[in-house]
Amino acid sequence: MDIGLTRFMRDQVDHVSTGFHRYLYSRIDWGRHMLGIVGPRGVGKTTMFLQYIKEHEKEMKMLYVSADSIYFADHSLLNLADEFSREGGEYLFIDEIHKYQGWSSEIKQIYDGYQDLKVAYTGSSILDIVQGGADLSRRAPVYHLYGLSFREYLALFEHIQTDTYSLDDILQLKVTLPELRHPLPYFKEYLKRGYYPFGNDHEFSLLLSQIINTTLEVDIPQYANMSAATVKKMKRLMATIARSVPFKPVMDQLSGELGVSRNILPDYFLYMEKAGLISQVRDSTGGFRGLGKVEKVYLDNANMAYVLGRGDSNIGNIRETFFYSAMRVNEDVIVSRISDFQIEGKTFEVGGHKKGKRQIEEAKEGYVVKDDIEYGADNIIPLWHFGLNY
């Protein structure tokens, strides 16, 4: 095996910490013949691979590679899998696989041709991974990793441990945080810089801006063959979403403002959604998850809203952005006809501590989700509670 690859893996594994695991780590069936992990840039996919290797390398022979390694300038993935398998390799981890041209055809050949070799791969470009892995979807599951929950933020940055609470637990006011009497200052900090594992970096805003720019300028254009002019229009669109209350897309109006065809705008929104930049909240008309009419558009998470809004972000928008980004991980969240959101027939109105119950008066089962309160009562639930659901 190439000595450069083994040295690279050793260096990466030796420097990773195993003291904290993301919520998805225990949910993954690591023993499968093949699996994929996708998610936006910077949420911790690589770290999970390295942690698994560090904790299991005594049990099996493993190799970790990055698909943009110089090694692949004159070697193929198929060559690597063949050589590693012949040397007794048991588990091959391929990071950032979308950076390898033609990866999907070779990964299928590896799946079919090397039954004794387990393979796991990651991809930040969800567009490419979903399209390229379509033929493997029934045999090789693709897991989606989201950013840190408020619970994970407390554990990683503040060393405060708390249980995970289901939606029913939250609505029944079962949330307790004995190690933290006053959670609101921590929650406000989480909204600004706690969604990403690099949130404690003093250059956090710059790093997140670079992730957003790379996704807009590299990932999406490579997939959709876009021009630089189109990228600028998508940047303007994201800035508009960041400052909205929240953003409700009117395609005819947007078409005129951006100077693009009305018919192409839904594609722009879909590209940005799949790349982890925005979230589109739909109604229930589709009958299946994700197929309804788009009613609201948010940035993917509250951290993005603060960075892109540059002090001009609407706090109501930020609260709703957080609620949706937190609950989408485990629940099917749609737009409510009478209020903000609906989950399993339950209606949720999100607001500040003065928010009243008028919007949920018609709801069969309605809840007011309030920011800036520490404790709830009856059907009034603190907003921060929803950050403990994964």
pLDDT of residue 240: 82
The whole-number average pLDDT for the span 302-327 is 92
Phi (first) and psi of residue 295, to 5 degrees: -110, -35
pLDDT of residue 259: 84
This prediction's pTM:
0.92
Given pLDDT bands bounded at 50, 70 and 90, which one contains residue 289?
low
pLDDT of residue 137: 66
Given pLDDT bands bounded at 50, 70 and 90, which one contains residue 237?
confident
The whole-number average pLDDT for the span 356-374 is 95
pLDDT one-digit tens code per residue, 148-157 = 999 999 999 9
Given pLDDT bands bounded at 50, 70 and 90, which one contains residue 133?
low
pLDDT one-digit tens code per residue, 45-76 = 999 999 999 999 999 999 999 999 999 999 99
- Write out the chain in H/E/C secondary structure: CCHHHHHHHHHHHHCCCCCCCCCCHHHCCCCCCEEEEECCCCCCHHHHHHHHHHHHCCCCCEEEEECCCHHHHCCCHHHHHHHHHHCCCCEEEEECHHHCCCHHHHHHHHHHHCCCCEEEEEECCHHHHHHHCHHHCCCCCEEECCCCCHHHHHHHHCCCCCCCCCHHHHHCCCCCCCCCCCCHHHHHHHHHHCCCCCCCCCCHHHHHHHHHHHHHHHHHHHHHCCCHHHHHHHHHHHHHHHCCCCECCCHHHHHHHHCCCCCCHHHHHHHHHHCCCEEEEECCCCCCCCCCCEEEEEECCHHHHHHHHCCCCCHHHHHHHHHHHHHCCCCCEEECCCCCEEECCEEEEEECCCCCCHHHCCCCCEEEEECCCCCCECCEEEHHHHHHCC
Given pLDDT bands bounded at 50, 70 and 90, which one contains residue 238?
confident
Residue 243 has pLDDT above 90, yes or no: no
The whole-number average pLDDT for the span 164-174 is 98
Least confident stretch, 94-98, 267-271, 281-285: 281-285
pLDDT of residue 368: 98
Handedness of CA 293, 294, 295, 301 (dihedral sign): positive
Residue 378 has pLDDT above 60, yes or no: yes
CA distance 246 to 59: 50
Given pLDDT bands bounded at 50, 70 and 90, which one contains residue 128?
low
Residue 288 has pLDDT above 60, yes or no: no
Taking the C-alpha atoms of 31, 36, 38 and 44 in order, what is their torsion angle to the nearest 10 degrees? 40
Least confident stretch, 25-39, 130-144, 146-160, 371-385: 130-144
